[in-house]
Amino acid sequence: MPSVRPPVKNKIRSYSELVERMLRLAAETKGIEARLLGKVRAQPVSYPFWMLSTPPGSGKKRVCLSGGIHGDEPAGVEAILAAVGMIGKEPSLLDSVQFTLFPCLNPFGYEYHTRENRSRIDLNRQYVRKRPPAEVRFVKRAIEGKSFDLDIEFHEDIDTPGFYMYEISQDPRRAVGRKVIQRAAKKYPINLQTEIEGAPADGGLISPDVSSQFFQRRFARKRQWPQAIYFYKNGTPHVITPETPVHLEMRERVEIHLTVLKLALERLLSD
Ligand SMILES: [Zn+2]
């Protein structure tokens, strides 16, 4: 793959402005620590790649949140910043939860509004590669040896008529999909198709039974595992991928993502 390639489009967002905003917010929020994991080279520039986290502690639930693995899904990135804002408003959350946050997994895609990274690679299919791209390598290294109770990956869908989400929960009592969709449906459209992106869906929820034929077939090819399946297969018992419709306002999409987060945390902390 060529290392120098002209941008596919004009830059429409500034990653450095995003980082500035994120670092300011992190500095203002008690308990949030920002860590530079490395630089993603994307000729002629390179992007600093950041992780945010809150202090560990015994008995705390461990929650991983990430956004922007697909660069043309910016509400996921905004959702992480909104989550930091939420932590700032509810600092007592940190008594019971340890957060690991990846605010923007695809800096080039964020700037140029492309699903893929600079090398036109879909980062959400790279988690089990021997030599994954830097963006994925940084995440894998940062979470090595860690386990999570909950992983939420904030996505968007460019042509869905309404909100939908994927949820895999080993413990059915932890599942929050139905409740999230009920809540979202009060204000926003839900994608009610019975098949979404090739997966069986029910009322906006794609919640495959892991022993089902569909699941086995879809994820038989390890090389194709998306990040969510990688987390699940590596011991995270509850993974959620909310997909907001981009035809809604940014503020509305972020509100839906935050609803997912709040309901999932509420359920996680209820036992
Ligand atoms: Zn996506």
The tens digit of pLDDT for each residue in 149-175 reads 999 999 999 999 999 999 999 999 999
Residue pLDDT, tens place only, 49-99: 999 999 999 999 999 999 999 999 999 999 999 999 999 999 999 999 999
CA of 61 from ligand 1 middle (Å) equals 26
Model confidence band, residue 1 (pLDDT cutoffs 50, 70, 90)? very low
Tokens of 161: 């008529």
Residues with CB under 5 A from ligand 1 (ion): 70, 73, 155
The torsion of the CA quartet 182, 245, 255, 50, rounded to 10 degrees, works out to 130
What separation in Å is there between the alpha carbon of 16 and the centre of ligand 1? 22
Whole-prediction pTM? 0.95
pLDDT 10s digits, 91-137: 999 999 999 999 999 999 999 999 999 999 999 999 999 899 999 99
Is residue 85 left, alpha or beta, with left meaning phi > 0 and alpha meaning psi from -120 to 50? Answer: alpha
The pLDDT confidence band at residue 8, using thresholds 50, 70 and 90, is low
Q: Report the separation in Å between the CA atom of 90 and the middle of ligand 1, taken as the mean of its atom positions.
A: 29
- The alpha carbon of 122 and the centre of ligand 1 are apart by a number of angstroms equal to 9
Cα–Cα distance measured from residue 228 to residue 182, given in angstroms and rounded to the nearest whole number: 23
CB 228 within 8 A of CB 239: yes
CA 210 to CA 213: how far, in whole Å? 8
Rounded (5°) CA angle 24-242-59? 65
The average pLDDT across 25-45 equals 96
Å from CA of 226 to ligand 1 middle: 10
Please give the class, per CATH, of domain 15-268: alpha beta
Q: Ligand 1: distance of its center to the CA of 155 in Å?
A: 4
pLDDT in tens, 242-268: 999 999 999 999 999 999 999 999 999
In the predicted model, what is the mean pLDDT of the chain?
Answer: 94
Every domain of the chain and the residues it spans: 15-268
